[in-house]
Amino acid sequence: MKVFNRHGKILMGITISLSFLTTVGSMLINPTSAHAETTQSYSKMVFSASKTVQADRLISTAESYMGKVKYGYGERDIQHLILDCSSFTQLVFKHNGISIPWGSKAQTSVGTPVTNKANLKKGDLVMFSVGTPGRINHVGIYMGNGMFISNTSSSGVVIRDMNSGYWKNRFITGRHL
Spell out the domains of the chain, with CATH numbers in brackets.
Answer: 1-177 (3.90.1720.10)
CA distance 145 to 167: 14
Side chain identity, residue 21: L
Q: E-strand spans in 88-146?
A: 112-114, 125-128, 138-144
State the chain's mean pLDDT as an integer.
82
177 residues of the chain, pLDDT tens digit each = 344 444 444 444 444 444 444 444 444 444 444 444 444 544 444 445 678 899 999 999 999 999 999 999 999 999 999 999 999 999 999 999 999 999 999 999 999 999 999 999 999 999 999 988 999 999 999 999 999 999 999 999 999 999 999 999 999 999 999
- Spatial CB neighbours of 81, under 8 Å, sequence gap ≥ 6: 65, 68, 69, 70
Global pTM value:
0.74
- What is the rounded CA–CA span in Å between residue 170 and residue 95? 28
**Helix and strand element counts for the chain (H, E):** 3, 9
